[in-house]
Amino acid sequence: MLYTSTRDKSIRVTSAQAIARGISQDGGLFVPIEIPKISLDDIKRLVSCSYIQRAKEILSLYLTDFTSEELDYCLNGAYAKGNFSDEKVAPLHTLDESAEILELWKGPTCAFKDMALQLLPYLLTVASGKSAPDKEIVILVATSGDTGKAALEGFKDVAKTKILVFYPEEGVSPMQKLQMTTQEGENVSVCAIEGNFDDAQNGVKAIFTDKKIAEKLDSMGMMFSSANSINWGRLVPQIVYYVSAYCDMLEKGKIQLGDEINVVVPTGNFGNILAAYYAKEMGVPIKKLICASNANDVLTEFLKTGKYNKIRDFYTTISPSMDILISSNLERLLFLMNGMDDKLLCEWMKDLSDNGKYTVNSLVFDKIKNTFEAGCCDDVKTKQTIAQTFNQKDYLCDTHTGVAIAVYDDYVKTSDDKTPTVIASTANPYKFSSSVLDAIRPGMAKGMDEFDIVLGLHVETGVECPAQLANLKGKEPRFTKCCKKEDMESVVFQMLAK
């Protein structure tokens, strides 16, 4: 399987090269030139398989230049027993007769980013061993919260790699911040920036695509790579859990082989839901992909109208990992849907960077309408949904999952669509303790510090706080630096000089 760039379809690279480079030199994203298929018989066979076996089957279709032994090494390292707290890795929890929650946060940092970022360092070191064996890899990350910690944890002390994470100073939860600033490991650095997530992401993208910086790094025996969801190595592990969820729906007797399901995904950068789209295109019987946004509803508007417009107010919400106005992975969907027309895609992306907006043609918009539904919900409704879900269904969810459940409820009410549904749950509720406690016991969290809130949430709900979060109590931060967005480049070189 070869890969091309969304902004120059004459490009051909192997999966190892796509993963090692992260982003194409033309600024485009790597995509496989075709989507491999799986049959219902394949799916039936996977039902009795472990998560690692399911993952191997799917990954071997995309990463054809990895040997079977290399895939085993990567998958056994990432999803080994003990690394994820549930042996199913990404288990389903029954919410009610028609909806299952796909819990994607059983990994070491308690957010769904672990699903990909526990595997990526393995994929990347194998990939760079093939395509650039002498180079040290420098991972730059812009994070809205969860990616940063998951990437730090995945890459800490991995030989021949260094990692630097930028996060928006005011844009992450106290628990997320503490998780990052206390990170251990010799090859890690963390820096806050004055600005929001888009500032951090734009800064990192600019550093990545700057030829002079790349040359300087090359002369130092290093190369950049990306652990953001623009890296194909982030996306491909996420396809696996949608195939796996379908298998588990079969195993639980919720559906029969071939029955369609709907999938609801709380979305920010469009990576997670794009993985579900790939699963659908591969042949998993998925009817609708339902995109859930918070008050930053740029995607809801786009999927309903075909017009993308980032010129709008930016809101800091209680679901910060979705506080995003530029959804990078949407570019991949548009490229697939416009028949891989790189010129047209470049026009849209230029419109976006020059004018802050673009409108897709009717061909693409019709395809979008056939596949996607979209909805959004503000913080008040998110909190109501968290409380209702806890009180009526005895399930404590985080704020991002709360958005997804609210949008799902609305969709069912307005469409009367009774298709069995998988709702992606992207974080453990204790990562956002204060908002979750406030939803369940309004006002109670006021004036309490983060770990009193954790205790309060435990007392009120009986749900255990994962040890890796509880153990952060009293831990001294190692990284306290905050820089201006113009200074990101110099922070990178300061870190590399260490």
Active site residues: 113
Q: Which stretch binds ligand PLP (CB under 6 A): 27-35, 45-53, 108-116, 245-253?
A: 108-116
Q: How far is the CB of 402 from ligand PLP (least distance, A)?
A: 11
Of residues 456-485, which lie at the interface with ligand PLP (CB under 6 A)?
Answer: none
| Edge-to-edge strand list for the sheet holding 136-142 | 222-226, 136-142, 161-168, 188-194, 482-484
CB 144 within 8 A of CB 325: no
Report how many residues bind ligand PLP under the rule CB under 6 A.
17
Q: How far is the CB of 458 from ligand PLP (least distance, A)?
A: 20
CB 267 within 8 A of CB 292: yes
3-state secondary structure of 275: helix
Of residues 263-282, which lie at the interface with ligand PLP (CB under 6 A)?
Answer: 266-272
Q: How far apart are CA 188 and CA 162, in angstroms?
A: 6
239 touches ligand PLP by CB under 6 A: no
Q: Are β-strands 92-94 and 99-103 bridged in parallel, bridged antiparallel, or unpaired?
A: antiparallel
Q: Buried b vs exposed e over 353-362: b needs ≥16 C-beta within 10 Å?
A: eeeebbebee
320 touches ligand PLP by CB under 6 A: no
321 touches ligand PLP by CB under 6 A: yes
Q: How far apart are CA 416 and CA 203, in angstroms?
A: 44
Of residues 427-446, which lie at the interface with ligand PLP (CB under 6 A)?
Answer: 427
CB 403 within 8 A of CB 292: yes
Nearest to 472 by CA among 158, 86, 184, 141: 184
For ligand PLP, give the closer residue by CB, 16 or 237. Answer: 237
> Which distant-in-sequence residues (6+ apart) come within 8 Å of 447 by Cβ?
none
Of residues 10-69, which lie at the interface with ligand PLP (CB under 6 A)?
Answer: none
18, 74, 95, 111: residue in contact with ligand PLP (rule CB under 6 A): 111
Q: How far apart are CA 272 and CA 262, in angstroms?
A: 14
296 touches ligand PLP by CB under 6 A: no
Q: How far apart are CA 30 and CA 15, in angstroms?
A: 9
For ligand PLP, give the closer residue by CB, 112 or 122. Answer: 112
146, 379, 409, 438: residue in contact with ligand PLP (rule CB under 6 A): 146
Q: How far apart are CA 416 and CA 413, in angstroms?
A: 6
Tokens representing 270 are 């469009």
For ligand PLP, give the closer residue by CB, 124 or 175. Answer: 175
Report the sign of the C-alpha dihedral through residues 346, 350, 352, 357, in that order: negative
Q: How far is the CB of 269 from ligand PLP (least distance, A)?
A: 3
For ligand PLP, give the closer residue by CB, 124 or 427. Answer: 427
24, 426, 428, 434: residue in contact with ligand PLP (rule CB under 6 A): 426
For ligand PLP, give the closer residue by CB, 20 or 299. Answer: 299
7, 56, 106, 113: residue in contact with ligand PLP (rule CB under 6 A): 113
For ligand PLP, give the closer residue by CB, 11 or 111. Answer: 111
Tokens representing 397 are 């969810």
Apex 56 CA angle, 51 and 61, nearest 5? 135
DSSP 8-state symbol, 84 = B
For ligand PLP, give the closer residue by CB, 250 or 386. Answer: 386
For ligand PLP, give the closer residue by CB, 56 or 400. Answer: 400
425 touches ligand PLP by CB under 6 A: no
Q: Which stretch binds ligand PLP (CB under 6 A): 20-28, 109-117, 191-199, 249-257?
A: 109-117
201 touches ligand PLP by CB under 6 A: no
Q: How far apart are CA 165 and CA 434, in angstroms?
A: 24
DSSP 8-state symbol, 455 = H
Q: How far is the CB of 425 from ligand PLP (least distance, A)?
A: 9
Q: Kindly list the residues in this chain that would bind ligand PLP in the complex (CB under 6 A).
A: 111-113, 146, 229, 266-272, 321-322, 400, 426-427
